[in-house]
Amino acid sequence: MTKIIITCALTGSIHTPSMSPYLPTTPEQIVKQGIDAANAGASILHLHARDQVDGRPSSKLTDYTSFLPELHGATSAILNLSTGGSALMTLEDRLEASLKFHPEMCSLNMGTMNFALYPMIKKDQIWLHDWELKFLQESDDLVFKNTPRDIEFILNNLGHNITTKFEFECYDTGHLYMLKHFQQRGLVQGDIFIQFVFGVLGGIAADPKNLIHLKSIADELFGENYNFSVLAAGRNQVQMAIQAASMGGHVRVGLEDNLYIRKGELARSNAQQVENLRKIVEELGREVATPEETRLILGLKGKKNTDLSVSIKN
């Protein structure tokens, strides 16, 4: 087995500030938790931006620049910018930061899907901001748009033009066949990094047999020319990560995906989740990859070859 890559998704665009006081939403919180997660063993930091006033998901360059320069300078971890952003954002909004900052890696969602968040509403929840409840309630009519045209645009403008590598987020079996389609067209080349996503209402469920099924399809489609990682939303986060590690895959944790460290107990930081999972995978005999080892495994262009520092200064 190769060394295991731990990705930490710091904040995302799903959970709202009222759900946990430990969810990082301010620039200072995102920076601190990112540095701490990297020090705990995360070699990839998956990044979204938040509005600096009320913590809602944001795609504004000012919100990205409020934390990216410091994170870029303070850690050797790979900064993986989301091109998914939020399902409420336009494609242009979702891509603005990535097209500006030219990161080593970006996420890329491989299909349009329902993206239902309303089951997270708790009857006794006290909301800190007016936007939160409406955001969750209206997700019963929410479509996360990632059409073939959208995917092609991202592959051409980020992958081809500025050599960003992708973490291909696959929420269901059809997304793997879409990825194969773009490989056959020559728009996806070289080894592939797949992130299997489980537990989002609208995608495949967080069931161990589903991981076996998805991996068997990926094996048929891509042979040995791919790496895979696993994330599971909510309470199945650790269970699915353990299965992935046992199967030779990589893992993702973070408060974007799950707010808890164990049943009924909120995680106090992203680093706490990284530390917990690191202990588990090391007990399984897997050695955690450093950022430089991760760059070699995934074939990234390297931190010194990005335009992030230049883009931020300009």
Across-strand partners of 193? 167, 227
| pLDDT recorded at residue 161 | 77
Instruction: Establish if 1 belongs to a structural domain.
Output: no
Instruction: Establish if 23 belongs to a structural domain.
Output: yes
- Domain residues for the domain of 43 are 6-313
CA torsion 102-228-94-77 (nearest 10°) is -40
- Strands 6-9 vs 250-253: parallel, antiparallel or unpaired: parallel
Across-strand partners of 231? 197
| pLDDT recorded at residue 304 | 84
Q: Which two tokens stand for residue 232?
A: 């599971």
Instruction: Establish if 122 belongs to a structural domain.
Output: yes
Across-strand partners of 287? none
Q: What is the pLDDT of residues 20-40, one digit of tens each?
A: 999 999 999 999 999 999 999
Count of all residues that appear for the chain in the document:
314
Instruction: Establish if 68 belongs to a structural domain.
Output: yes
Q: How far apart are CA 266 and CA 252, in angstroms?
A: 18
| pLDDT recorded at residue 263 | 94
The gap from C-alpha 60 to its chain's centroid, in whole angstroms, comes to: 18
* CATH number for the domain that contains residue 226: 3.20.20.70
The gap from C-alpha 233 to its chain's centroid, in whole angstroms, comes to: 11
Q: What are phi and psi of 207, to 5 degrees?
A: -120, 130
Which helix (DSSP H) or strand (DSSP E) does residue 35 occupy? Answer: helix 27-40
Instruction: Establish if 201 belongs to a structural domain.
Output: yes
Contacts of 44 (CB under 8 A, 6+ apart): 5, 6, 7, 8, 77, 78, 80, 105, 167, 291, 294
User: What is the domain count for the chain?
Assistant: 1
* 193 neighbors 181 (Cβ within 8 angstroms): no
| pLDDT recorded at residue 1 | 66
| pLDDT recorded at residue 284 | 96
Give 138's DSSP letter: G
| pLDDT recorded at residue 211 | 98
Q: How far apart are CA 209 and CA 215, in angstroms?
A: 10
Please give the chain's pLDDT, 314 residues, in tens. Answer: 689 999 999 999 999 999 999 999 999 999 999 999 999 999 999 999 999 999 999 999 999 999 999 999 999 999 999 999 999 999 999 999 999 999 999 999 999 999 999 999 998 899 999 999 999 999 999 999 999 999 999 999 998 877 899 999 999 999 999 999 999 999 999 999 999 999 999 999 999 999 999 999 999 999 999 999 999 999 999 999 999 999 999 999 999 999 999 999 999 999 999 999 999 999 999 999 999 999 999 999 998 877 776 555 55
Nearest Cα residue to 129 out of 24, 49, 59, 54? 54
